[in-house]
Structure 1
Amino acid sequence: MQLRKWLSIMLAVVGMAGMLTGCGAESASQSTSQGGKTKEKVLNIYGWTDYFAPSVLDDFEKKYGVKIVYDAYSNNQELLVKMQAGPTKYDLIQPTDYMVSKMSKLGMLAELDKANIPNLSNLQSNFRAPFFDPENQYSVVYTTGITGIAYNKKFVKTKPESWQDLWNPQYKERVILVIDERDVLGMALKKNGFSNSTKDEQQLSIAYADLKTLMPGVMSLDSDMIRQKFIANDAWIGTVWSGDALYIQKSNPDVEFVIPKEGAAIWADTMAIPKGAKNKQLAEQFINYLLEPEVSARNYEAIGYGDPNEKAMALHSEAYRSNPILNMSKEQLERTEWFTDMDEAQPLYNRYWEMLKSWRD
């Protein structure tokens, strides 16, 4: 849907400044037409698949009199390509931690007006100064998770302990991988004892060669339908984001989640606003709404991901608060590693990823 043009509206607003002073400031959720009538505004979101509770989106639309258009992408590379292609309609995006760093360096993100996001104080303190955006200048942490191994214990009789278990020939054509460059290459790097953010071409070459031997046994590279494939028992084992693992488990209790002994990636997805977004204030209003404790608890209970909202914790169910997937032990967390921006090494990652995908095709 195309966004409405604002030039004539702003001229009208300037001319009516005195009237607005007496009547109160115009809400971010409304625009004034030349005829004095209000027109519905549209908040265009470009985010991960199934990343908001539908009821939460519906309630925001009703409360603020707006319409939400929600488009989804499968990985950060897809997001970056879309944003680099030129001006887009989107008001809110959800880049992962390292992508926030990259996009801010490229001048692609708008600075947040924190006066419009007072509920930012509800976040846990460690999320109010993340390493990739220490002052929350461009982003707000939406959720965190870990990329580990999900497996169906009906078919995978021995609990996986290593990434090497994905290469087990017994699971040929029942292995599934998220379609994400950093997750897939990072998994193979960790398997071989390297950092998931190495810039060493020899180490990347080793990881790539290892992945080539896995590809014949992989049923698909998929992030959008990975939940359904595990729920339907089509996929038996694979790389899965922790929140998706919890979602799968609700419908298929035979699916378990583990962090391999070699370690795994820990990450944070965020909410950010593209530079030049036409509804920046409305996007900030939406972020603030999501940080309301009651809304936050309802949203994360539905999507199955970790809630960074400290004031929402008391509103969560006991099952949510005690779930081991959402509450990793100190020992497990010590085996995780954050992704970092690749800077000059990014073309190297891109090349190996494209070769891997083309080799599979």
Structure 2
Amino acid sequence: MLTGCSVDTGASSDNGSELAGQTLTVTAFAGAWSETFTKAFVEPFEARTGAKVQFVPGGGAEWLTKLRAANGENPPYDLIALTPDLSGQAARANILEPLDTSKISNWDELSPVLVERAGVDGTTFGLPLTTGSTGLAYRKDLVPTPPTDWSDLFKPEYCGHVGLPPLTFNPGLELLAGLANEQGGTLGDEAANTKAMESLAQLKGCVSTYPADSGAMQTALQNGDAWIVPWWDGRAFAMEQNGVDIGFVYPESGPVGALTSYYLAKGSTKSDLAYEFLSEMSKPENMKVFAEGTWYAASNTTIEYSEEFAARIQYGNDVYEKFAWIDYPTVLPQITGLQEEWNELFA
């Protein structure tokens, strides 16, 4: 999984492009995500330019570590997929290049809310790809009354069947942010942190499993080890599509936003090719393929989704503005202390 793999569609450029024959190194999450990414973006890009895309599968923390080691010289990737908890660290470490948006077609069609969230300290660093919403996923065959808000996790009928991720796994931290938001506060504020942790303490003795990654979360739901968990809308709907009896609820007080964006590595010698790929990514027809294939809303606001997608996924600038977004520069320095409190509660 740590070695790159070339994606070769067999297409050749018929436009005499000077980009033909070049190779762009792009990070991508493994599995169905990469397969859909290839169909939506890589295949049309390779056909149009004659260039090739080499995938490096893995995860954001691993990619960030290797970028830090390169320190802006001969980076191992040209374009990197990062979430806001990591992109800020990368930008402040001076290992990302600010984007020249004039080189990206369809940039003006992208959601301004998501563009801002993909940036760092007011500078545009990332092209927002898709946003997920963290809410509550549950087994419809085991939960007769669906939840409506975050605090429903504390209902007696769920006791003994709650899947609770640690705060070091995004859905766990997003659950805490959702609770703080429901209570009228903002995660990162000391009083809001305290109140949210006190509420979480109600789950002591009611947690059946502590999934610490996506695979464990999916297994817990599939096997019935957990009846209800904080989870991403796209993952829940994908599981439902694959035959698992899963429901998903956007909490009434507001779901928590989870964004994936693409960033240009500082020191990349393929910036021209990278901008061509970012332009390919920004096209509504391509983003639609990726969004509907992953069940995550894309950043291009001109997309007309299928009826099935539009009926299930909440999307649009008005929706994104109401998300309980996590202020990572404030929250990340507090994670260690919050996780220690969590450990004391659930050890």
1:198 aligns with 2:188: yes
SS of match in other structure, 2:211: strand
Identity between Structure 1 and Structure 2 (%): 20
Runs of 5+ unmatched residues, structure 2: 6-15
Distance 1:328-1:278 versus aligned 2 partners, 3 A rule: closer
Do the aligned residues in 1 keep the contact of 2:126 with 2:262 (CA within 8 Å)? yes
How far apart are residue 147 of structure 1 and its match? Answer: 0.8
1:156 is displaced (CA, Å) by 1.1
Q: Please report how far the alpha carbon of residue 319 of structure 1 lies from its aligned counterpart in structure 2 after TM superposition.
A: 1.7
Cα deviation, 1:156-176, whole Å, max 9, x if unaligned, reads 112113334434474525525
* Aligned with residue 26 of structure 1, among 12, 18, 22: 18
Contact 1:172 1:218 in 2 (8 A): no
| Corresponding residue number in structure 1 for 2:11 | none
Ranges in structure 1 where 5+ consecutive residues have no aligned partner: 4-23, 32-40
Q: Partner of 2:262 in structure 1?
A: 271
- What amino acid is aligned across from residue 43 of structure 1 in structure 2? T
Specify the alignment match of 2:308 in structure 1: 319
Q: Which amino acid aligns with 1:44?
A: V
Which of 329, 334, 339 aligns to 1:348? It is 334
Count of equivalent residues: 324
Are positions 1:110 and 2:97 aligned together? yes
Within 5 A, what are the aligned runs for 1:220-259?
Answer: 220-224=211-215, 226-227=217-218, 229-231=220-222, 233-252=224-243, 254-259=245-250
Tell me how far apart the structure 2 counterparts of residues 57 and 359 of structure 1 sit (CA, whole Å). Answer: 45
> What is the rounded CA distance, in whole Å, between the counterparts of 1:46 and 1:58 in structure 2?
11
SS at match of 2:312: coil
Q: Which amino acid aligns with 1:198?
A: G
Taking the TM superposition and a 5 Å limit, the aligned residue runs for 1:9-24 are: none
Q: Hey, what's the Cα distance between the residues in 1 that align with 2:302 and 2:316?
A: 20
The SS at the match of 1:323 is helix
Which has more radius of gyration?
Answer: 1
- Name the CA distance, whole Å, in 1 between partners of 2:219 and 2:53: 28
Q: State the shift of 1:125 in Å.
A: 5.1
Query: What's the TM-score once normalised by structure 1's chain length?
Result: 0.72
8 Å contact 1:128–1:136 — kept in the other structure?
Answer: no
Measured in 1, the distance between the counterparts of 2:214 and 2:167 equals 6
How far apart are the structure 1 equivalents of 2:65 and 2:175? 23
Structure 1 residue 187: deviation in Å? 2.0
Structure 1 contact 150–245 (Cα < 8 Å) conserved: yes
**Alignment partner for residue 33 of structure 2, among 51, 56, 59?**
51
After superposition, the Cα gap between the structure-2 partners of 1:79 and 1:273, relative to the gap in structure 1 and judged at 3 Å, is same
Between the aligned partners of 1:338 and 1:127, the Cα distance in structure 2 is: 11
Q: How does 1:148-187 map to 2 (within 5 A)?
A: 148-167=135-154, 168=156, 170=158, 172=160, 175=163, 177=165, 180-181=168-169, 183-187=171-175
What SS does the aligned partner of 2:128 have?
A: strand
Measured in 1, the distance between the counterparts of 2:123 and 2:333 equals: 28
TM-score, length-normalised on structure 2? 0.75
Q: Structure 1 pair 132/100, CA: closer, same or farther in 2 (3 Å)?
A: same
